[in-house]
Structure 1
Amino acid sequence: MASAFRKNLSQLTYRNLLRNLAKQKTRAVIKPYEQPAKKTYLTAHISVFDYDTNNIKHHKPTSIQECFDFKHSSTITWINMDGLDKEQMEEICNHYNIHWLIQEDVMSRGQRPKVDEIEGVVYCLLNMLFINTSTGVIEEEQISIVMGNNFVLSFQEDAEKDVFDPIRKRLHIQNSRERERGTDYLFYSLIDLITDSYLGVIENLGTQIETIEEQILQRTSKHTFERISQLRKDIILLKRNIAPAKDVAASLNRTESELIQERTTKYFKDVYDHVVQANDLIDNYRDLIIGLQDMYVNNINLRMNEVMKTLAIITAIMAPATVIGGVFGMNFDIIPYAHHAYGFYGTIAVMIIIPILMIIWFYRRGWFQNEARPGRKED
């Protein structure tokens, strides 16, 4: 009977366990290799520039079908989409015979910068880097550029951040190179504008590193360590975007595509030089940040050593008085000078004279000189 009771109890416990598990909500599985979801922009802003050497038309279509008439135009057409709308992007790409693999890359986040040539078009994917003025953090925006015969399509991820205004201004100048050259030069101008942003961000990063180095030399704090950690994250972000861009620039410099004329190839060599320079600066700043971390830790250790030295000096100075007081405080009947008329005053005098002599000796030994941090400023 006891065994039957234990069996029923175990079955009841098992049923309760299953019932509790059924009530719990399942958690979403987080995969570390997947990029986090980003907000989707419901509306995209489309602008069209159709131009040649003598004329230019700037058009903002109200419907996607208005962009289709420029496909067979003899002039150069640049269609830019601010904010990714999947349906509109697919309609434009399908009309201009853009391969579906390129369309997937345009809509996919977290892509590695790359360049491809598929079915008569050249596709380039780069990340635009800029500094958020409110938070001071480096942010990135994925930009896709497709070049075909007499047309260039550009897709920007964020509708609120447009980066191609300098090129638009130059297009309105009749004798500018963008107006006199072909689609390959417009393609180069867009890429050059993106890569030039790297140097501006890196220059700002160098200024922050110098500021933090001065703060560490003066007085370290928890805020300083947080800024060092943020700079380390920024360096990783820059390296992840700039290192592949070096391969992109090298591929464009060696390309044999019929869409890129020989006279434009030299400009991609300039893009390659800028990216190499940015990549070298990132490596140097990465070493500097490692040095800042070591400097921060060493500075903390120096401050701890100063505290320990101060406590050691105080303990050494108070030790003779403690020993003398302990000796004369013992409960013995016979203690020398215990009943002397000036015994108490003599003991106090010895307790004072010995620490004074020790302070003089410590001073001559240089224990009170703070040579570790000569430039320290007290708050």
Structure 2
Amino acid sequence: MRKGFISKRLRSGRKIVEESIEKKIEIMKAENFEWIDVQNPDRSDIEELAKKYNFNTLNIEDCMTRFELPKLDSYDDHFFVILHFPPLAQKIGISKNSQLSIFVGKNFIVTVHQGDLKPLVQLVDICKTDSEQQSKNRLLGKSSGLLLHEIIDVLVDDLLHTSRKIIANLDELEDRVFDETKPVARSIALLRREINRLRRIVNPLKKFVIEIAKNVKRFSESKDEELTLYFDDVIDHIDKVIETLEESRETMEIYKDTDFVLSTEKTNKVLGLLTIIFTLAIPSTVIGTFYGMNIDLPGGLGESLTFLGPHTMFIFIILASSVPAIMMYTYFRKLGWISN
């Protein structure tokens, strides 16, 4: 397997050079409403829109906050919602989400974000050009409610695509877990972090999409049944993402436990081998210790044994060290402590 597959497939902890996103305000006029997309805005830009569409001051503050909890505020002529989605890139060690703030009324829809949601940026590009006229007509041809569905739908589809990448990572990780030559602890930790981050995004998302489906009917000329079917399809995709993430989390726990067991077994084998080596070396260590003392011993410097030649004492020491070691080795093999 390729080393570092997590970082290539998903947003891992690898440092990514982030491109600076310039401030951009795009206004796309449709027959019945207009779509205003604001990327990386200044406070003055949001305040001008607030004066034009009578936005609540607290919602303006929420738009300017880089991270605000998901929420939905409903008013007589519009509603305001904050949703979170995974960004295109993130800094090392920081698990951040990208915030999307949306104001929806009968004749307008305003989206505020930092420009790092690629599917949303692509929708804006489609509506600003005539290169994909059919898609442009589908997005701007009916009502603000249907456009809101399209925006949420492409972002949820991106989540679904990311969850499928996680499944691909799990398949590759399974082979690495059982390969003792490749460490996988860091890969497991990175993928677990990615799964948990997506779960924190997706779990509240379903609740807010259901609330959006209830509120958006007030500002749409489409039939209630049509909008309901559209948003039910989005909710079904969210359920698939949640189900995939839950299964992936359970699988990751299995892989984590398996890797721990295999690593522990490998460590025990190494420690067992070192213990056996040390045990077999005990006889020679003991003999060497005695003859290293400054006392008279048989065969010492003061007494020379030569019945096996000039190296008789050396041969005797080798035999005295080897015979107990061989006996211990044979006994350990009989007990099964040393495998073949």
TM-score per shorter chain, which class?
Answer: 0.7 to 0.9
Q: Which moved more, 1:164-173 or 1:91-100?
A: 164-173
**Contiguous gaps of at least 5 residues in structure 2:** 1-19
Cα displacement string for residues 19-55 of structure 1 (whole angstroms, at most 9, x for unaligned residues): xxxxxxxxxxxxxxxxxxxxxx996211122234xxx
Amino acid aligned to 2:307? A
1:355 to 314, 321, 325: 325
Deviation at 1:269, TM superposition (A): 0.9
Cα displacement string for residues 110-141 of structure 1 (whole angstroms, at most 9, x for unaligned residues): 22223332122132221231453996986532
Between the aligned partners of 1:105 and 1:133, the Cα distance in structure 2 is 22
Which residue matches 1:120? 77
Is the CA contact 2:74–2:215 (under 8 Å) kept in the aligned structure 1? no
Between the aligned partners of 1:42 and 1:276, the Cα distance in structure 2 is 32
Is the CA contact 2:156–2:237 (under 8 Å) kept in the aligned structure 1? yes
Cα displacement string for residues 291-310 of structure 1 (whole angstroms, at most 9, x for unaligned residues): 44434443443233122211
2:268 to 300, 305, 321: 305
Q: Does 1:276 align with 2:239?
A: yes
Between the aligned partners of 1:144 and 1:325, the Cα distance in structure 2 is 79
Amino acid aligned to 1:189? E
Between the aligned partners of 1:220 and 1:126, the Cα distance in structure 2 is 43
Q: Which moved more, 1:345-354 or 1:265-274?
A: 345-354
What SS class does the counterpart of residue 265 from structure 2 fall into? helix
Between the aligned partners of 1:78 and 1:127, the Cα distance in structure 2 is 20
Deviation at 1:189, TM superposition (A): 0.4
Greater Rg, structure 1 or structure 2?
A: 1
Is the CA contact 1:137–1:234 (under 8 Å) kept in the aligned structure 2? no
Q: Which moved more, 1:235-244 or 1:162-171?
A: 162-171
Amino acid aligned to 1:258? R
1:205 to 163, 166, 178: 166
Between the aligned partners of 2:212 and 2:115, the Cα distance in structure 1 is 26
Which residue matches 1:47? 26
Q: Does 1:89 align with 2:7?
A: no
Between the aligned partners of 1:210 and 1:84, the Cα distance in structure 2 is 41
Between the aligned partners of 2:30 and 2:215, the Cα distance in structure 1 is 26
Bigger relative CO (Cα 8 Å, ≥ 6 apart): 2
Cα displacement string for residues 201-224 of structure 1 (whole angstroms, at most 9, x for unaligned residues): 333334444444544433478x84
Amino acid aligned to 2:209? A
Is the CA contact 1:86–1:107 (under 8 Å) kept in the aligned structure 2? yes
Between the aligned partners of 1:355 and 1:159, the Cα distance in structure 2 is 68
Cα displacement string for residues 224-271 of structure 1 (whole angstroms, at most 9, x for unaligned residues): 444444434333322222111011122234448422441111111111
Which residue matches 2:248? 285
What SS class does the counterpart of residue 86 from structure 2 fall into? strand
Which residue matches 1:111? 68
Q: What fraction of aligned residue pairs are identical, expressed as a percent?
A: 23
Between the aligned partners of 1:164 and 1:272, the Cα distance in structure 2 is 22
Amino acid aligned to 1:246? K
Cα displacement string for residues 83-116 of structure 1 (whole angstroms, at most 9, x for unaligned residues): 1221111112221222333322222232222333
Please give the residue correspondences for 1:1-379 in structure 2 after superposition, counting only pairs within 5 Å: 44-52=23-31, 75-132=32-89, 139-158=96-115, 163-166=120-123, 168-169=125-126, 172-173=133-134, 177-219=138-180, 224-255=184-215, 257-260=217-220, 261-262=223-224, 263-323=226-286, 341-342=307-308, 344=313, 345=315, 348-363=318-333, 365-369=335-339
TM-score by length of structure 1 reads 0.66
Is the CA contact 2:281–2:325 (under 8 Å) kept in the aligned structure 1? yes
What SS class does the counterpart of residue 119 from structure 1 fall into? coil
User: What RMSD in Å do the two structures reach over aligned CA positions?
Assistant: 3.8
Describe the shift of the 1:184–1:200 C-alpha distance in structure 2 as closer, same or farther (beyond 3 A): same
Cα displacement string for residues 163-195 of structure 1 (whole angstroms, at most 9, x for unaligned residues): 331465377217953354322111100111222
How many equivalent residue pairs? 306
